[in-house]
Amino acid sequence: MQSAMEKGRRKFVVIAVVAAFMLAAWAAPSHQARIEILTHDRQDANPHKMQAAVNIGMIGFSFLYTWTSKLGR
């Protein structure tokens, strides 16, 4: 069984992490947190992409993932 002190500490950590993510999204110049994972070969002129974006008022989140279809080169 968890003590009240452990529950309070866990709640504080969760709130601190959420606040840090919100601050990072708010502090970005466009008020949008961006994550880009580029795993394609530089010589691939047309890599495959998966892109998503969510914007809810003052905060937004953008995700871009690219990969090369010709992995056996």
For residue range 16-28, list pLDDT tens digits in order: 998 887 777 676 6
Q: How far apart are the first and last CA of the chain?
A: 55
Residue type, 8: G
CB 28 within 8 A of CB 34: yes
Quick one: what percent of the chain has pLDDT higher than 90?
7
Q: Which residue would you say has higher pLDDT here, 8 or 31?
A: 8
Residues 60, 3: Cα–Cα separation, whole Å:
37
pLDDT at 16: 93
Quick one: what percent of the chain has pLDDT higher than 70?
78
